[in-house]
């Protein structure tokens, strides 16, 4: 029988309803699992005390997530619980309010386990820029879990949370989902409230779920989606019952679906094993009855350059509020106000955050605004037009989530450009504000590969339908990493933080 810590939320909820387990038992099982593997994975920045599960079974009634233990990325505000964004500059910051998504999950009866590790201020693709420590991939402790939501993805993959939330600015939910062999979805921009999400790039950020399977993804999205008047970018749009849509449809029949395969996503740089796994997944989708044809998104090659002007520009504006005056870290070495600002930011921000602030400030500076930032916004419009043109012919698009599988810890830290290319397949979707999901579709070099399914604005039901049909026709989502946390932690300690190649 599958261990409780390895079960999706919908299956645990069925056990609750049948009286075959209790919230107390599930919580106890999750905390035992965390105690076993967390010393080696390091998915969490902060763990909450184990709740007294007695009497907590009342949470289950009438809620699809009642009594389900979950984790939150540490850039999502939680009332009374420190929120650091993986940065030293926010040490000691305790929000006085819950983010809208945190409040929604609390209302639904879900049980928060803790806050997960992340790249500092969500700026990174490997979870190595955290001010605390890198998180490790449960499939291979020598490798990164992806980023910036690496802690959330690793927690779900390693059995340390039933589901988790992350944020996706340029691929930060989907890429770690791919690296860790779990499901990760970026909803349409505006579908999920950003109120209480600490801003990185406000026109790109979106909160999304990381789950064991597609049904759980639909269930969690149904709870957190919806209009929020506190978020000026929140869409006034009806939220369908995503999970019911999956269960009432024919999961083995995609006849009538027209799916495009953008050739630009299979260009030079994609690993052979990744390409093979994704092409095999596309064959499976064809066998389910979908019409599949190659298409083109010609401005894709400019997406990376546009993103690394727009996102840093917005970050340089958003991060100006961290000055050592109102909250968080304050330098002890200053003599005047300018010195306070300078020293606090110098000591509080890490190298990657400083790099992006400088890039963004330069792009917005007098004499360069039109040449860089404005031109990048024009390119963004062309990318959106490419997708709109493709969706005149196709219902959905499919592509790799990442051009590679998870890479070794430390391998790309001295090469920012190579690190940035980890998100080359996900960035265009953020620029266009579209929904997309990553589902496990195979393995290469013993590590998971993700298939990315991209939809029209607010067509989360269509994206989930194809993802669910593919998932039910395969067994990749049922694979669980073999992780002896105690022994792995000992090996890491013996090897000064690294796991040797023969282990």
Set out the domains of the chain in order of their start, with CATH numbers.
Answer: 4-304+377-494 (3.90.1300.10)
Alpha helices in 158-213 (DSSP H): 174-180
pTM: 0.95
Note the pLDDT of residue 61.
Answer: 67
Read off φ and ψ for residue 501, nearest 5 degrees: -60, -30
Q: Single out the residue of 417, 54, 440 nearest to residue 278, CA to CA.
A: 440
Tokens representing residue 212 in the block: 């064991």
Note the pLDDT of residue 503.
Answer: 41
N residues, the chain: 503
Low-confidence ranges of the chain (pLDDT < 70): 1, 52-59, 61, 484-503
Q: Find tokens 């023969």 and name the residue.
A: 502
Whole-number Å distance between alpha carbons of 243 and 464: 9
Q: Single out the residue of 301, 271, 296, 244 nearest to residue 407, CA to CA.
A: 271
Read off φ and ψ for residue 209, nearest 5 degrees: -90, 150
Note the pLDDT of residue 485.
Answer: 46
374 burial level (CB within 10 Å; 0-12, 13-18, 19+): middle
Cis bond upstream, residue 117 (ω within 30): no
Note the pLDDT of residue 502.
Answer: 39
Sign of CA dihedral 327, 169, 218, 13: negative
78 burial level (CB within 10 Å; 0-12, 13-18, 19+): buried
Active site residues: 73, 148, 172
Q: 126 and 412 in contact (C-beta within 8 Å)?
A: yes
Whole-number Å distance between alpha carbons of 467 and 113: 28
**Residue 37 CB neighbour total at 10 angstroms:** 27
């Amino acid at each position: 029988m599958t261990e409780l810590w390895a079960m999706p939320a919908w299956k645990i909820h069925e056990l609750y309803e049948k009286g075959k387990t209790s919230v107390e038992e599930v919580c106890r099982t999750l905390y035992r699992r965390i105690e076993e593997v967390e010393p080696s994975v390091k998915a969490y920045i902060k763990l909450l005390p184990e709740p007294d599960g007695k009497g907590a079974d009342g949470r289950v009634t009438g809620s699809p997530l009642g009594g389900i233990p979950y984790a939150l990325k540490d850039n999502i505000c939680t009332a009374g619980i420190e929120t650091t964004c993986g940065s030293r500059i926010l040490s000691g910051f305790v929000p006085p309010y819950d983010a809208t998504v945190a409040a929604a999950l609390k209302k639904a009866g879900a049980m928060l386990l803790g806050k997960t590790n992340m790249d500092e201020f969500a700026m990174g693709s490997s979870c190595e820029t955290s001010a605390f420590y890198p998180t490790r991939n449960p499939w291979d402790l020598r490798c990164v879990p992806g980023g910036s939501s690496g802690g959330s993805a690793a927690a779900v993959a390693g059995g340390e949370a039933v589901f988790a939330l992350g944020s996706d600015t340029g691929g930060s939910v989907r890429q770690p989902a791919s690296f860790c062999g779990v499901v990760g979805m970026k909803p349409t921009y505006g579908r999920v409230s950003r109120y209480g999400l600490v801003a990185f790039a406000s026109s790109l950020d979106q909160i999304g779920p990381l789950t064991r399977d597609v049904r759980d993804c639909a269930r969690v999205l149904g709870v957190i989606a919806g209009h929020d008047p506190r978020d000026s970018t929140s869409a006034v749009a009806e939220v369908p019952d995503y999970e019911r849509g999956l269960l009432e449809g024919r999961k083995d029949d995609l006849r009538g679906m027209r799916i495009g395969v953008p050739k630009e996503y299979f260009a030079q740089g994609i690993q052979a094993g990744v390409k093979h796994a994704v092409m095999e997944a596309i064959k499976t989708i064809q066998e389910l009855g979908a019409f599949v044809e190659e298409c083109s998104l010609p401005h894709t090659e400019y997406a990376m350059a546009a993103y690394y002007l727009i996102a840093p520009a917005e970050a340089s504006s958003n991060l100006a509020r961290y000055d050592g005056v109102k909250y968080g870290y304050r330098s002890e070495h200053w003599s005047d106000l300018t010195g306070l600002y300078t020293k606090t930011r110098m000591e509080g921000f890490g190298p990657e955050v400083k790099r992006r602030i400088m890039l963004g400030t330069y792009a917005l500076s007098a004499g360069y605004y039109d040449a860089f930032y404005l031109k990048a916004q024009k390119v963004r419009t062309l990318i959106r037009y490419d997708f709109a043109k493709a969706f005149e012919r196709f219902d959905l698009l499919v592509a790799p989530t990442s051009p590679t599988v998870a890479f070794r810890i430390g391998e790309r830290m001295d090469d920012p450009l190579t690190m940035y290319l980890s998100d080359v397949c996900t960035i265009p979707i953020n620029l266009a504000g579209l929904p997309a999901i990553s589902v496990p579709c195979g393995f290469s070099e013993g590590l998971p590969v993700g298939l990315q399914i991209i939809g029209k604005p607010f067509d989360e039901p269509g994206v989930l339908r194809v993802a669910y049909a593919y998932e039910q026709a395969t067994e990749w989502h049922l694979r669980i990493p073999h992780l002896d946390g105690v022994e792995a932690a000992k090996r890491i300690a013996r090897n000064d933080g690294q796991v040797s190649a023969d282990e």
